Amino acid sequence: MTMWTYHIPVATQRVGQTVKATLNAWLVPQRIRGALRMKQHISVNGHQVPTSYVFQTGDVLTLQFDAADFRTSTSNYQPNGQHTVPIIFENDDIVVVSKPAGMKMHPHAPNETDTLLNYLAADFSARHCMSAGMPARPYMVHRIDRETSGAVIVAKNPVVVPLLNRQMVDKQIQRTYLAWVHGTLTDSAGMMTTPIGVDPLNPRKRRVDGLAAQAAKTHWTKIHTVYQNTLLRLQLDTGRMHQIRVHLASIGHPIVGDSLYGPVAPVTRMMLHAATISVPLPFDGGTRQVSGPLPTDFPRQLKTI
C-alpha cells in the first residue's frame, strides 16, 4: 500500500496543545483529520494516541497517510527529460521553481509532455527524490500563465497540497510580481479593486465587470519609468485568471508584450515576472521567502524596446 509518513518533532509553541488543535492549525482538512483518526494513523513517540492527546516537550508526532485519504493521490505526468527547470528552493515537501516565459504549467492531453510538470517528473526520478517516505512526484499547487515567467510552488506529495491550497485561499502565501507597462503613472502606488469576470465576446479572455465577475484586488508600486514605459511591483490579494493583466489594461496601462490585452510591441515575451513568493512551510516549518534571478529576457531598463 502507498503510504506517506511524517515524523514531526513537536515545536515549542505546540506543547500543551492537543493533536486536534495542531492539525487544525496546520490546515489539515476535516475529512483527512477524520481519516487519520478512524484509521489510527496518529502516534506520538511510537504509541497510538487519540486526537485529544496533549503534546509534551520532546514529543515526536507520526502521521501516516494513504492514497484513499486524498481526492487526487496519484501524479501521472509522463517524465520528459529534454529540459530542466531551475529549482530555487527545495525541501522534502515542495520545490519552488523558476518557470521560463513560454513554458506551459501542465498538460491538457494524455500524450502532451512539453510542460513544467513533465520536466519535474523526470527531474525527481533522475535524482531519486523521496518525500514522506515515498518517491517524490510533482503535484500542482498554483499556476501562472504560459507567457509569464517566475516563481511557482510545486508539491512533491499529495499530503501538502490541500494545506498549501488553504494557505492560498487564506492569503498566507504572498506573491510579488514585476511588470513593464505601457505609459507613465503619475502616482507612486495604488490599488485596483474592480471585479473580474469572463469576457462575453471571447471566453478565453477576462474583463472587469465581466460575466460572473468575482472580487479582485491588486496592489501596485511604481519603481521607475524608462522610455515611456513603467516598471511596477505588484501584489495580489486574490488570484483571478489574468488578474494583473486585466486590471492593468483596464486603467490604460497594459503589460508590454501582452498579446491578449495590450497593443503589439516589438518584444519577444510578455513583460510579467513572478519575482518573489513567500510560503509558510507545512507542519511548522517556518515561513520562507524565495526569489529567483531576473531572467535574461526581462530587461531591467527595457532598453530593447
Domains located in the chain, CATH noted: 3-69 (3.10.290), 70-170 (3.30.2350.10), 176-274 (3.30.2350.10)
| Residue 302 pLDDT | 60
Residue 303, pLDDT > 70, answer no
Amino acid at position 208, single letter: V
Q: What is the mean pLDDT of residues 175-195?
A: 96
List the grid coordinates of 204. 478565453
Q: Please name the residue that has the C-alpha cell 509569464.
A: 148
What's the CA gap between 255 and 245, in Å, rounded? Answer: 6
Write out the E strands in 67-173. Answer: 87-90, 94-99, 130-131, 134-135, 139-140, 149-155
How many other CB atoms are there within 10 angstroms of residue 268's CB atom? 11
Number of helical H runs and strand E runs in the chain: 5, 19
| Residue 305 pLDDT | 46
- 284 an active-site residue? no
Report whether 151 contacts 95 (CB < 8 A). Answer: no
Sign for the CA dihedral angle at 133, 136, 137, 143 comes to positive
Report whether 172 contacts 159 (CB < 8 A). Answer: no
Active-site position among 69, 93, 123, 145: 145
Q: What is the mean pLDDT of residues 283-293?
A: 94
The pTM of the full predicted model, rounded to 2 decimals, is 0.92
